[in-house]
Chain A
Amino acid sequence: MSFSIYDFTSLTQSVDQALKNSLSPTWALIIEMVIVGLIFLMFYALLGLFLVYAERKICAFIQNRLGPNRVGPLGLFQTIADLIKLLMKELIYIKQADKLLFNLAPFIVIIASFMAIAAIPFAKGLHAIDLNIGIFYIMAVSSLGVVGILLAGWSSNSKYSLIGAMRSGAQIISYELSVGLSLLSIVIFSGTMQISGIVESQADAWWIIKGHIPAIIAFLIFLIASTAETNRGPFDLAEAESELTAGFHTEYSGIKFAFFFLAEYMNMFIVAAIATTVFLGGWMPFHIPGLLSFNTVMDYIPPVVWFMGKTAFIIFIMMWFKWTFPRLRIDQLLKLEWKYLLPLNLINILVIAFVVLMGWYLH
């Protein structure tokens, strides 16, 4: 059993082999699934804690404040304290609410984000499922979250929640198109929908460099549309605290509110991870074709670090958006999508198809 931080394939395969040798294939599969599930749960919880902390620190930095600095060194345990507070809080039940759907909604939201994370490669071989239609799977699964939001708003039996949910529905269904189309443009470049295939195709250079202008346009559109899809500022109309108090989760309290809260951060991570995988080379190091010594040095940085670094960068940009811009109005939001992003995207795909046909990209 060999282990390397540059390639996890041998590790995962030897675990798989060991399980299959001692158990029947069905049991081996079940145990593998449980292991992967547990690992992701741990990862999920830790990442949520870290992202909330990061958001608060970055927001404080932008706003001339210190941010959390009391609980633990540099306030690192602040989110843990918050989590304990949220766990101990009373769950408020609304008499007129639809009980089943009201309780189900946070789980749908969180399960949707949980499913999407499975298709993301963190490093070579560190990949839960490598479907041959990976991109398609991610697009399908990530749009499930809106069902939870709609249910939350509708079942709360509160007018603020309902308006928030309806806004969210209109917003996510619109921006889904732009997200899909901008991902599709890279599918055209790489010629595969398999995520590992897309990452492998960027071994020499990332798509945002290889695909030059059309890829950059697609990347920017993806960044805008995915910020909208995660309901974050300046597109946080579903929450819009100055208008709708808290939008679709107005009536939620305690741990159920925490689920929505966590799901927002996880969605942000997933979106950033997809952008990294598709446009910025995933776990591939930064290479400049021709500069051999430079490329060798870059190769020494572990792929997990590359992946997490790029993802963190995109998350930072999304936080920067949120804490700088005023919120859009609902009609401006839809106008931006249907009148600007979508036509631009369609033209861009046409251009990309032409560029690929003529071979005008680096390869």
Chain B
Amino acid sequence: MEEVIKDIIIKENEDYIINMGPQHPSTHGVLRFEVCLVGETVKYLIPHCGYIHRGIEKMCEKDTYQQIIHLTDRMDYLSAHINNEAVCLCVENALQVQVPERVVYIRTILSELSRIASHQLWWAAFGMDMGALTTFFYGLRDREKILDIFEESFGSRLLHSFNTPGGLMHDIHPNFQNGIKEFIKYFRKKLPEYDQLLTNNVIFKERSIGLGVLSKEDAISFGITGPSGRASGFACDIRKRFPYSAYDKVQFNEILFNEGDTFHRYKARIEEMKESMNILEQLVDNIPAGDYTAKLKPIIKLPVGEYYQRVEAARGELGVYIISDGNKNPLRVKFRTPNFSNLFIMNKLAAGSKIADLVAISGSLDLVIPDIDR
């Protein structure tokens, strides 16, 4: 054994156990933390998942590639579009299909819009976790604008399954670009409100700075990706490291901090919203004309082989691993979801802190439970 695992949990009979979840306001879904307390202090916690395990990977083995798209929506429902894109890119790479430039641009724009919407909802819910109830309404107010754009173009607000292998389901609404430009103008004005309400608040700073510090080594070893990993200095942005879609055509910064505490995980997401708006601004006027989908056969059969595609979802690295035996159904589909890895750092970060800190840390990791259970 290379290193002795230090944070192994030793249960004792006299432990004061309290179950947070499956229904609890701070777990944002059906997750259960088995928390052992000494007074107010957390001694250890064990996550129990699987309450909404739907066997998506098993279902995928019986589905065609077009059908898989609709299942991936339901994993991380807050970045549904990015999940779809990952599967589409994987299938397209396997078939070696060149999708039209228009599709590439629109997909990138949608990814960034989803990312902003997801971070807005996270901000709203994180404020609630910290006890600032008003943030929830401010976050949702702004997220509504993005959902309106989605609704106008795709007819649905949350799970839009707009991607399909080869391109998009249909073309965008003529008002799409205007809507985005208006949103950017609006949101640039509203983002400072987030800082006024929460970031600069003394109590908030006092509670989050220096809390739940995650070192870079741990972040890599535990596979903590996304803004949570980048707050610890782990340069894990797939958009920079392995550019896909139109990310090699735009200029943007990878948000990196070295502190790795709750406050900087918070900060990383706020900064990322600004970067996403920069990316949107570079793309929105340059959507090339052309088809909205490449011509593909109605029944897709991938050549025998193994294909892996990673994308940067709103919460970190999403990997799609398809093993094909040449049939219209895959032999095996594996989703490497960001929240799955991110969840299991909880014990390490929260052990030794207070109950309130536990809630703040789990909020700052931005867990979406269906993404863990799949």
Contacts and interface: CB of A to CB of B under 8 A. Distances in A.
Contacts of A64: 137-138, 141
Interface string B104-131: 0000000000000000000000011111
Given A64-B141, A326-B201, A329-B354, A245 B25 contact: yes
Interface in B190-207: 197-198, 201, 203-204, 206-207
Contact of A330 (B25, B198, B354): B354
A86 B359 CA distance: 30
Given A63-B134, A63-B137, A245-B24, A326 B359 contact: no
A62 interface: yes
B16, B26, B40, B204 pick with most chain A CB within 10 angstroms? B40
Interface in B137-166: 137-138, 141
A138 interface: no
Contacts of B138: 63-64
Interface stretch (A148-156, A208-216, A235-243): A235-243
A44 interface: no
A10 B133 CA distance: 49
Contacts of B203: 234, 325-328, 332
A69 interface: no
B134 A327 contact: no
A20 interface: no
Interface in B331-368: 354-359
Contact of B131 (A63, A159, A234, A330): A234
A324 B128 CA distance: 11
A328 B207 contact: yes
B16 A159 contact: yes
A233 interface: yes
B59 interface: no
B18 interface: yes
A242 B361 CA distance: 13
A328 B354 CA distance: 11
Contacts of B131: 233-234, 236, 240, 242, 325-327
Contact of B26 (A65, A243, A325, A326): A243
Contact of B25 (A159, A242, A328): A242
B132 interface: yes
A163 interface: yes
Interface residues of A, number: 29
Contacts of A325: 131-132, 201, 203
B356 A329 contact: yes
A115 B138 CA distance: 40
A332 B205 CA distance: 12
A274 to B, nearest CB: 25
Contact of B130 (A59, A159, A160, A326): A326
Nearest to B354: A329
A326 B126 CA distance: 10
B303 to A, nearest CB: 50
Given A242-B128, A332-B206, A323 B354 contact: no
A160 B26 CA distance: 14
A315 to B, nearest CB: 18
Nearest to B27: A242
A167, A325, A330 pick with most chain B CB within 10 angstroms? A325
A248 to B, nearest CB: 15
A324 B354 contact: no
Contacts of B358: 243
A242 B359 contact: yes
A201 to B, nearest CB: 36
A23 B262 CA distance: 71
B208 to A, nearest CB: 9
A331 interface: yes
A242, A245, A332 pick with most chain B CB within 10 angstroms? A242
Interface in A222-251: 233-234, 236-237, 240-245
Contacts of A160: 18
Contacts of B354: 329-331
A340 B307 CA distance: 61
Nearest to B128: A242
Interface in A329-358: 329-332
Interface string B219-230: 000000000000
A244 B358 CA distance: 12
A325 to B, nearest CB: 6
Contact of A65 (B130, B137, B198, B206): B137
A236, A324, A329, A330 pick with most chain B CB within 10 angstroms? A329
A327 B25 CA distance: 15
A244 B25 CA distance: 9
Given A159-B18, A236-B131, A330 B356 contact: yes
A117 to B, nearest CB: 28
Nearest to A233: B131
21 contacts: A59-B133, A64-B138, A159-B16, A163-B18, A236-B131, A237-B356, A241-B25, A242-B26, A242-B128, A242-B359, A243-B26, A243-B359, A325-B132, A326-B127, A326-B131, A326-B201, A327-B132, A327-B356, A329-B354, A332-B206, A332-B207
Given A245-B24, A332-B207, 18 more contacts: A63-B134, A63-B137, A65-B137, A233-B133, A242-B25, A242-B359, A243-B358, A243-B359, A323-B134, A324-B132, A324-B197, A325-B132, A326-B127, A326-B198, A326-B203, A329-B356, A329-B357, A330-B40
Interface of B: 16, 18, 24-26, 37, 40, 127-134, 136-138, 141, 197-198, 201, 203-204, 206-207, 354-359
Interchain residue pairs A-B with the least CB separation, the first 8: A327-B131, A326-B130, A326-B132, A63-B137, A329-B356, A159-B18, A326-B131, A242-B26
